[in-house]
Structure 1
Amino acid sequence: MIKQFRLILVFFMAIAIVSCSKEESLEEGNIPEPAFGTWSFTEGSKTYSGTVDTAYIETFEDGKVLTIEGINSSNGFLILALGGEDITPGSYIAPASAMLYAEGPDILYESDLLEPGGFTILIEEFDGTTIKGTFSGTAFDPDDNEKVITNGRFSAELN
């Protein structure tokens, strides 16, 4: 139980650090080519999509956290994060998974780590270098209205 608590705590800390970190690759306003992968999702009648510019795994004492960061031409960025003892194909269900989508300084959708089962990221394929999967679940808009994220897809190359 303590090990699970520590893993969840590390995961929360990683999300907080990632959500506050500055995206260095866009300093000059240059949007990278889609060399690292793509992402997309739907909320209601709106579909969002873009390229993945960063994907990495951090190792902690009690487990690992995979973070995937992407951008699009609407000044939007997506962060997907999941954690576990190891990163392998399978389902990662909140609080072991999270999603945030923002455009400019405004967060449009954010999953709730405190809502168990509210958000799921499924890793379909992972060979240690490239990763592919889906995501879906409940997220909240800036007014705390519940939104349903569907058809989430990602593919990325770890860097």
Structure 2
Amino acid sequence: MKNPFKRKYSEKELEMYEFLNKLTLFEGLSLEELSNFVPYMFLRRYKHNEAVFFKDDPSHALYILRSGKVSLNLDLKGKFERLAVIHASDTFGENSILINKKRLYHALVMTDNAEIFAIPQINIHEIFNNQPLIKAKMMENLSGMNNKFMEDLFFAYQSSFGFFSMSLAYKNK
């Protein structure tokens, strides 16, 4: 039997939830859970070579690329080394869901224009405090993303043995 009191979503809302559900960080969240984030998604427009953020900036927002491309770069003695190119329907700045973290790289717009949603960290943590299941799901997704990154890092290291010392990644704390 259908529940007559079940919330109905507009076509525009459903489009946004479908967009979010394709993102690894938001995988497994229900429509109702995704609806918590939409009021805090602020669309910003950037131009070519505009910085979204710089290395060591406080991680105060999660970014979702709606259109365009963003380059993630490390600054090595004045020269940029590209870590990745982010395409539409991808997230970056994921460490913003953790408290008191800084950006690990620079994020620069590569295309003439880019549309990027920003979700402020304060709003993410407000959702987490009120809905611990959402926090658990997203932390699990973030852990999976970090595990994939480590797999890729180890593969890159094995493919180019001798170019850097992996032990530096595992410094004693």
Tell me which interval the TM-score lies in, with the shorter structure as reference length.
under 0.3
Greater RCO (CA < 8 Å, at least 6 residues apart): 2
Rg larger in structure: 2
TM-score, length basis structure 2: 0.25
Structure (1 or 2) with the greater strand fraction: 1
With the length of structure 1 as denominator, give the TM-score of the two structures.
0.27
